[in-house]
Structure 1
């Protein structure tokens, strides 16, 4: 265990040195005194890179971190294959966090989780020995994964529903919000169109 930890630390040091060759000196990027520690699952090279990057950026946003700080802290969320990849990046290949994020997603693109379509839900079959509760849990998770990013998917991610009933309740609430917003935008466009057709008052001749 001690040898394994020592090897990981050596890789982290090598990784930091490799990163410093390209972008700003990591030692010169200060961490604010009240900065909230980033707590996310480490990325080992087998998960969806988009999911990891999104989780990291969300934590940085909540903690009011900027791109320079993201550049410094992102390496601390990597381990195993992902850590080795970053340690072996070519010199001067990374200048900004945007460069790092793009390279990271590109390197591990093969692990991206395929977006589900509605038709995929019909392929989810209940196994012979699988109980109904377990089957419905798989169905619910597949439904959530198939959603586009937006307020509704964010709400489900923050509070995972335990049943289809909870999903339906959440759906109804967000459908109502979407419809209200749509009606409001229509009314605003109609009012704007009406104002644009209103004749401009003639200027008074001061002669």
Structure 2
């Protein structure tokens, strides 16, 4: 009997056969059969079994180097991470099929746990969209609350808020709206501002595009600030008197 750390242990029955013996071969075959049996059941034996054969045999382009992407730890918006991941991979020349097995490489901490993979049925993932949905569903608690276009249209410039501050706030909120139509952003700006002269200018001479719109706003802001500074300077002698 083998001795380990001063203790006597018994070999399990399946280890008592000699290497290369018929019994050993039979045990090996039985283990292989068990693995195949487990893979046929409705749960993952390994992460790899969640992918279809087409995904597993897909090879990266020759000379392809995995890009440097920020690791996902489960605390930031999963959609934002996937969008960044997808953009970089496509830029490097990888197809969408190459994205699928690469996602686990960019996980860290609790997100690196395979538990959410184990919920996927064997050979159920054949596309980036399918794995992306499972990924987002698992990390839903970290998802940033997305705004809709109606939220943007409801924004109004506050009475004590400068036009510059209002534009900054509007742009910040616009970033939270998915697939924002530029026309909606224009309408939100025009309806939200309090300056009558600027609003009249937009109605009488509608800007050709967003660049033209914000360029006009910037000129108007500069004009307002110059006039305000001039008025303040003119009031200084009155204060001294």
Report the TM-score, using the length of structure 2 for normalisation.
Answer: 0.43
Report the TM-score, using the length of structure 1 for normalisation.
Answer: 0.49
Bigger Rg, structure 1 or 2: 2
Structure number with higher relative contact order (C-alpha < 8 Å, ≥ 6 residues apart): 1
